[in-house]
Structures are given as structure tokens and as C-alpha cells.
Amino acid sequence: MNIFSLITIISLSRMETTSTPLENKPMTMAASAVAAGGAQGLSLPLCLDWLHSLCWYYKEIYFLKQISYSSIRSFDPAVPVAGPPQTVSNLWNSTHHVFMHLHPGTTYQFFIRASTVKGFGPATAINVTTNISAPTLPDYEGVDASLNETATTITVLLRPAQAKGAPISAYQIVVEELHPHRTKREAGAMECYQVPVTYQNAMSGGAPYYFAAELPPGNLPEPAPFTVGDNRTYQGFWNPPLAPRKGYNIYFQAMSSVEKETKTQCVRIATKAAATEEPEVIPDPAKQTDRVVKIAGISAGILVFILLLLVVILIVKKRRSYYSYSYYLKLAKKRKDAMGNTRQEMTHMVNAMDRSYADQSTLHAEDPLSITFMDQHNFSPRLPNDPLVPTAVLDENHSATAESSRLLDVPRYLCEGTESPYQTGQLHPAIRVADLLQHINLMKTSDSYGFKEEYESFFEGQSASWDVAKKDQNRAKNRYGNIIAYDHSRVILQPVEDDPSSDYINANYIDGYQRPSHYIATQGPVHETVYDFWRMIWQEQSACIVMVTNLVEVGRVKCYKYWPDDTEVYGDFKVTCVEMEPLAEYVVRTFTLERRGYSEIREVKQFHFTGWPDHGVPYHATGLLSFIRRVKLSNPPSAGPIVVHCSAGAGRTGCYIVIDIMLDMAEREGVVDIYNCVKALRSRRINMVQTEEQYIFIHDAILEACLCGETAIPVCEFKAAYFDMIRIDSQTNSSHLKDEFQTLNSVTPRLQAEDCSIACLPRNHDKNRFMDMLPPDRCLPFLITIDGESSNYINAALMDSYRQPAAFIVTQYPLPNTVKDFWRLVYDYGCTSIVMLNEVDLSQGCPQYWPEEGMLRYGPIQVECMSCSMDCDVINRIFRICNLTRPQEGYLMVQQFQYLGWASHREVPGSKRSFLKLILQVEKWQEECEEGEGRTIIHCLNGGGRSGMFCAIGIVVEMVKRQNVVDVFHAVKTLRNSKPNMVEAP
């Protein structure tokens, strides 16, 4: 006889119900999870309730109720689900039972049945799934999780959480700005931040906190350091540098999520105090009056001096403007002809400018070279009613606003004296290349006020009509509603049949240097405009696409992937990727483009610059300048416009185009006119060059290009060029090679103390062999494997190879107290090669850091020597290493190349051939293991000169293979951007 006819579920948990209706005797059962303890990740209690009608049938009375239960599945893999069922019994008059110690996130099956004198009746079943619990974080109470602190960063130790009912789905680092009037939170566990807020949204919306990072659980299998403020992006959340004058609380959250249920646990792990300012000294009131009088007198004197100095500067600048830069071009040309080599033209031109500037006063006014830049380009006299606008930009057919950048329809390179396309205004005249360094330094003084003032003088916003772009049928074709195409300069597509609105694409023609419509500036295609984009490429006969964005940045889609990895059809176009060349800072893809109904097959190259950071501008311009030169060389003279896009087609796109134009102008005329170039671009497309930071970067990039010059040499010309470079000039007692090395030294960035703040920490002093050769913070490979109280610092720097970012790790020879750190570095960064360029020397603190045979343990890393062989000047040792704290990760095979051909007293190896053989051996090994993805550690005594030479030659070897050119200057300059002591002597 069945006494339960119906089960109704009323619960906070997820429940699945099955019931067997019997004899229509009403009974209701309910289950509810008791909340206590659930939020803390403890075992969950659950209360099972039932209601029934007490019935007498044939004088049969219920004696007891029996409940059996067992777990049948769980979200938590640690919970056993195949155990035997458990049974409890209740008296006949009970209506509920509390089950203790149930696991979170687990489904249990309950069977309940009642007994009479005749025995047990049929059972009724119910499935109940308990809520998941928040993960359990380690107790940070009283524990200082801070490992290191600088003015703009704080490095903390993150420790993994324990899952409760569901696997960890993510870790989050939350930064809360400290305010004196805000109630302080208690340390330890607390209410969590449930709503993710990016830094940008926090700044615009006034939120008191922001998410600095979100880390997948696989990134934290064991305690690991994390630097808050490292200016990187994690899962779409930007981790910006912290403000030195502000204080912050750092919170660590662990989150578990399953289906629609999410639980989070949060703990405060560190607090960064605001940097304190020096206390203001209050002067003695009795002395204050005399002091004010003295200050006033001094200030008046300084003011008079400044006024006189300004007058002198204006007079001098006015005189300087009367001398054409063609004079210096001819000096450079004479030297170039004497050399018979075009390679050193720009470098020697810059040197000639500096040496010849003092002799300008010997020129006479009637000298044909002594004409102004304005006269040289045949500008008309100014209009009487407009003293500031050159008449050349105003004529009967064109307005000044729309056509100030119109170029003449002439070949790209003409003889001297050709009219310049970008007109020089009196308020912002063109700047001679010789004066560019001085100009930039002046503009950067007083906290970049000069650049700030100049940039803010640009007209911001819409300056021409864009009626077509605003049409309803075209709105979906615009990625951003405020960056759209002006009517007068837009690219008009040939309409698709029966669709008159199909002539629109968010793109504008931009004039190049002496080439009208040399560029097309456009947005990154959206899904709806991919077909239109390829229509434009075909219609304009473009051969080069320049992409200056990544597909996704800071978690936001910046550009739709409009190209195929293999072959794809877009409308009536077939696009096939035939080659891809990945490099450290950009990728070159070659496509064939076919159109249905046409027999022609065209080749289109896409140059994708990947080295632009998510925020701001690149740290240096070396990579972008190399990228621009590559595009120049690849674009056929007869091709259509170069298509340039970022995301909006304004900021980075504008930077690229301005730099390209100004490099042409500097080469042809010896002047640059950045301000008027930007102004002209903005008349063609809205807000080209979008930030002051980008505007300053353009100046720095052009300066670097002018100072360094074109240094690439085709392989076929290298032998002759090399012998010419090492020839000693009898007049200067120097060579072109030494001059170039001097130029390299002058453009190498100098590291400041704050750049190496982590290496300078007192606790890291004994880990540095030389305190004047320290790695900058931005290039440090932080150690991940924990070794007791040892810090995560090692004197090493990550550097790019020719094809792979961060492929090299350059470090000093391990000190006796850093050998364990060295092997942690090898393991943590997956290094498959070690190149040793100096000798074991105990007198210099250079111990043998490897086992000659057998196995040795260095801290948590176990190293086993598998083989040792000799090949000319190289000893090859193969090691098998493993991390004893993470044995499940297996082994890493590493080969050490100990080079014996470089004596300690020599600046260069004894044999060029053997050193080149070493490089090729390392390259071959790298290709054989880890699919070429393993890193290479290079070390010498100081991690500079010898290591730099190895890296530089390795880069040049790859350059020769890939591009058939030699550019030693670029290779060393790239390395020195990361560590200035790379390659120390000419």
C-alpha cells in the first residue's frame, strides 16, 4: 500500500523530481537547503519535508518512514559518486529530516517509503542538486602578500583557491582606490565585487574599483607572483600603471560558475600606500617680506632676460629660414658620390648638418641657394585680408579647408625644387631636419606643454559634410558612428546591380607626398563590409594593405577577420592565402585575388603590424619604421592606393600615413612639416591622429629615422659596402663604420633608476653582478617557480629575435647564489637552448652550474646530464630537467652550447667561421625541439657585449634568409631598445 501520491518541490537548490502516484492519497514532500555554511564552502545541510494525511485502512497505522539516499553525480570531480546508499529512519509522526554533510554542487537521489504492520510500501524518489559554494581562498590574515613595490606597480603573491562544488572558473584581481572619507573594509574575506568593471568604465563612470586582470585557473596551479600596474591586458581587462600619489587596496577573487549559478570569494591581499610629498616649509613671517621683495626683483630681472632672449631667437630663426636645405642636401650628395654608396647618405647628411651649421654666415643673400622655403616652392603673396593663410591653398576651384593637402600630379621622386604639397604656415613653419632634435626637446620641456598646446590647436570633430555616410542604409557599414567618411574625399564604389546604396564604404582618399590619393584611410572592416572591402581593393587596384590593429584588444573586437587562412569566397571574389611570414613585430600575408568573370589573378600583400600595444603608443619606433620601409619596398610603382586601416581608421592610421609622408619630405627637401600634414589629413578624414601621445610619437619616430638613416644593404652589395665602411677617412681619421656606431650610441635610450626599480631593490642587490648593467622592469622575466624565501627576480631580459617576440633571454653568468634562480628561469620559460659565451672562473664568481654527469638538484629543479660531446669549438651537453614541485608536467630537454673560441682577453671571437657555426647549430636545435617555440638563453659575464653580438648576428642571419638584406644597425638598435649594453664596442 503506497501512502505517497504526489511530491512538490519548493527549494533553494536545483531539484529534479520523480514520483509515483498511488491510490490518490494526498502527500506533499519538499526539500530545501539550509543556507548556513554554504557561502563559506562547507558541507551543506539539507532539510527534507513532507506532508501527508494520516489514514486508517483496515486498522493499518504507519509505524515509521525510511529514507535512503546516495550521490549520483557532481560538478566537483573530487566528490565520489559511486558510493553505497545511506539510510535513515523516522517515526511515523515526523514530517521532516535534516541531512548533514552533503557536498556542494552534487546531485543526490532520495527514496522515501513508509511501513505498516504489513511491511514497506513502494518508494517515491526525488533528485536534489545542492547549490555550489564559493571557492575557499587561503587565509591572508596577517600575511603580507606583497613581494615588491615601485611607484606605479605592486607585485603580490597569488595563491590558488580550493574549489567547493564546482571547478574554479576564473581568478580576478580587483583594484580599489583609497579615499580618506570612504569606510575601510576589513581585511580577510569580505563581500565580493560581482560586477566586472574595466579601468576605462571606472574612470568614466566614477566607480571606486576596477578589474585589473582576469586569469584562467590553469594560470595558477601553484602560488605565483603577479604585478598590479604592469600595463598589460589580461582577458580583456587592462592593468594600467598605478598613480604614485594615490593609495590602493588590492583584492583577489576566485570564482566558480556552473550553468546559471556563480559563487565568488574575495580577500584583500595587499595595500599600496600613496607616495608622500615633502612637507611644505612655512617661512618665518618676520623674514617673509624681505624674501618677497628679493624674489620680485629676481623675477623681474629674469623676465627682462627672457624677453631679450626671445627677440634674439626670433631674429636668428628668421635669418636661418633664408637658407634652403638644398644646400645640405648637396653636401650630402657630394659625399655620397665620393663614397659610391647610398647607404650612408642620411647618416652623413645629419653629421654634415651639425658640422656645417656654424658656417652658415658665410653664405650671401644673393647666393642662389639662399632662398626661403616659401620662395623655393613658388608660394604666392599672402592675401591682404588673410595674413596667416598662404594664397597657394586658395584658388577659384578649391576651398582652403577641403583642399589644403592637394598634391600635384607628378612622379613620386622629382629633381630638387619641385613644389611641396604641404603648405607651410607662418604660425607653424616647416622644421629643418637639422633642427628637429632641438625642436622636439624644446616642445617636450615643461611637461610637454609645447606639444599639448600645438595638438590642442587642431580642429576637433566634423569639418566637412558626410551626408552619404549618415544615410540609414549605410549606418550598419560604420564601425563607429562618429568616425565616418566625408563626402568630398570618400571612396565611391561601383554600385552593385539594383543596389544604388552599395557605392558607400567608410574610406577616404589621402594624398601622399607628391602623389594624389596615394593612400586610402579606412576603418577595420565589420562583418557586413568584408565584401565591400575586397570590392574596393579590386576597384582601386591596390597591392598593399596596411593593418595597424589586432583583431581583439582589451576584450573588444577591433576588426573583423576579413582574410582567409586558406581560401575563402566573398561574394564574387575568391581570396587565397598563398604565403604567411610571421616576424617579431609584424606579419606579412600574401593573397591571390580573383573575381568571377575575370581571367586576371592579382597579388595583394597585407602588412599586419602587431607590435602596437593595446593602449598608448609603441615604446620605440624602430619596429614601425622597419615596417614602413618594408611596405615602401613592396608596393609596385604602378599600383593603386595603399589601403591603411586600424579600427576606426583615424588614430594609428593617421600616425602611419603622417610618418610615411614626412619621411619622403625629409628625404626630398630636408624639412618636415608635421603640423600642417596632420592638419591636411584632418581635412580629408575626421580626427586623423587622435591623441597628443600619438602626435609626440610621430615626432620621435621621424627623428629616429633621420638620425639613423637607411641602413639596410642588399646581400649582393654587402661585400663592397663593408670594405667601404671600414676604410679610414684621412681627413677625419675615422671610418663610416665607427661613425655609424657613434650614431647608434647617440640614439640608444638611457635607462633611468626608475626604469630598473626592481633590480635596484636592496633585497636584489646581491643578485646583480654589476650594478651599472641592470635589466629594465618592462623586460624582466619574473620567476614563477617558488623556492622558499627567494624572490622572483633574476638579472635577465626578454628580447625579440627576427621572427619571434621574446625569443631570447639574455642574462649574466650565474653567481654562486643565483644558480638555483638560473635553472628556475630555464624551466619557467621553456628554454630549450643555453648558449655559454665565457669560461668557468671561480675567481670572478663564475661557478660550474651544471652536473658533469648524473643528476643534481638546484632548489626545486632537478638537472640530469644525458650526454656530452665536442664539436670543434663547441661543447654540447644535453640535460633533462624537471620541476620537483610540479612533477606532473614531465621533463624539458635542454641543450647547452659552451663556446670555447672566445678568449677572455679578446673583444671578438677568434674565428668568425666557428662563431657562425655555433649560431647555426643553435638554430638547428631550436627547430628540432618544441616545434621551434622554445626560447634561447644566452649568457656571458655581464649579459651584454658578447650576448648582444650573438643575438644580433642571429637576427641578421634570419634577415638574410627572409629578406635578402643585411641591416646590422637595425638589429643592434632593436636589442638596445630592451637593454642598452647590448654590443658594447664597434
Backbone angles phi, psi at 98, to 5 degrees: -100, 120
Q: How many CB atoms lie within 10 A of CB 29?
A: 23
**Cα 437 from chain centre:** 28
The enclosing H or E element of 662 equals: helix 651-669
Q: Is residue 266 among the annotated active site residues?
A: no
Annotated catalytic residue within 559, 677, 846, 940:
940
Beta bridge partners of 896: 834, 877
Catalytic status, residue 47:
no
Residues 6+ apart with CB under 8 A from 136: 40, 41, 161, 162, 164, 265
How would DSSP label each residue in 438-488? HHHHHHHHHHHHHHHHHHHTS--S--S--TTTTSGGGGGG-SSTTS---TT
Indicate the burial class of 730 (C-beta count within 10 angstroms; 0-12, 13-18, 19 or more): exposed
The C-alpha atoms of residue 111 and residue 95 are separated, in whole angstroms, by 15
Break the chain down into helix, strand, coil percent, rounded to 5: 30, 25, 40
8 A C-beta contact, residue 710 and residue 346: yes
Q: Which three cell numbers stand for residue 231?
A: 600595463
C-alpha cell at 485: 567618411
CA distance readout (Å), 2 to 17, 27, 112: 18, 10, 11
Which of 42, 39, 105 has its CA nearest to residue 266? Answer: 39
Torsion sign (Cα): 924, 928, 929, 931: positive
631 burial level (CB within 10 Å; 0-12, 13-18, 19+): buried
Q: Which residue among 646, 655, 706, 846 is the active-site one?
A: 646
90-106 residues labelled b (16+ CB within 10 A) or e (exposed): beeeeeebebeebbbbb
Cα–chain-centroid distance for residue 501?
Answer: 39
Residues in the chain, total: 986
In angstroms, the CA 159 to CA 252 distance is 9
Beta carbons of 646 and 549 less than 8 angstroms apart: yes
Residue 316's φ and ψ, nearest 5 degrees, are -65, -45
Which three-class secondary structure state does DSSP give residue 414? coil
Give the span between the Cα atoms of 875 and 637, in whole angstroms. Answer: 51
How many C-beta atoms surround the C-beta of residue 685 within 10 A? 30
Q: How far apart are CA 646 and CA 522, in angstroms?
A: 8
| Beta-sheet strand order (sheet of 27-33) | 27-33, 44-52, 96-102
Active site residues: 646, 940
